[in-house]
Amino acid sequence: MNTKLLIWIVSVFLGAVVVATVWYFVFAKNVAPETTQSNTTLPVSGSVAPTPEETSSATSSPIEQKMTLTIQNSEMIVVNDFIHNNVTIPDTANIGRYMLAGNLGYCLSDPQKCQAAQVTNFNVYYNSIPQSFTIALIKEPIGQARLDMEQFMLTTLGITKQQMCNLNYYVGVTRYVNEQYTGKNLGFSVCPGATKLPN
């Protein structure tokens, strides 16, 4: 009687093993294994591994990166981070100054190092100490150059026309481009007191 019980127990055990094995091969292959994904980006050869701050900023688009800017009357506004947008370049000859659009012009051996946004009719500089913009209209018609520059500023900074009017800024032209308007802050065309320019 003990032999029959022992055979029955072994049979039940072997049956359970067979059922488990069949279940594994039939059903378990359809279930994707759990994986843990890391948000860490591995460096490629010759690069430096990113910091946690860089890793988190790399997952968001540049438009989401913001900074504050002091405007007229010492008020503050939030703008797109136009300094770290992969277009703006530092002016290495003038610490604290950045070129948003145009060409610095002094990189004779490597001109690409002096090129910010690819524009041909205006230059935009930013001085981080007074937080002000100096804009040069460098090609006729200067009225159209100013309109192109204003659209660039609105898009790059992510601001409204009213906020643009409250920036600390100067819009000018050299006598080599237009003698009539040299030495004046021409202003943004959408702002009060702006000089009317021919298109």
Task: Please tell me the predicted confidence (pLDDT) of residue 56.
Answer: 42
Task: State the CB neighbour count (10 A cutoff) for residue 13.
Answer: 10
Residue 4: beta bridge partners?
A: none
Q: Write down the pLDDT at residue 108.
A: 79
| pLDDT value of residue 10 | 53
Which residue ranges of the chain lie beneath pLDDT 50?
14, 17-63
104/10 Cα distance (integer angstroms): 87
How many C-beta neighbours within 10 Å does residue 11 have?
10
**pLDDT confidence of residue 107:** 82
Give the whole-angstrom CA distance, residue 5 versus residue 160.
Answer: 87
**192: helix, strand or coil:** coil
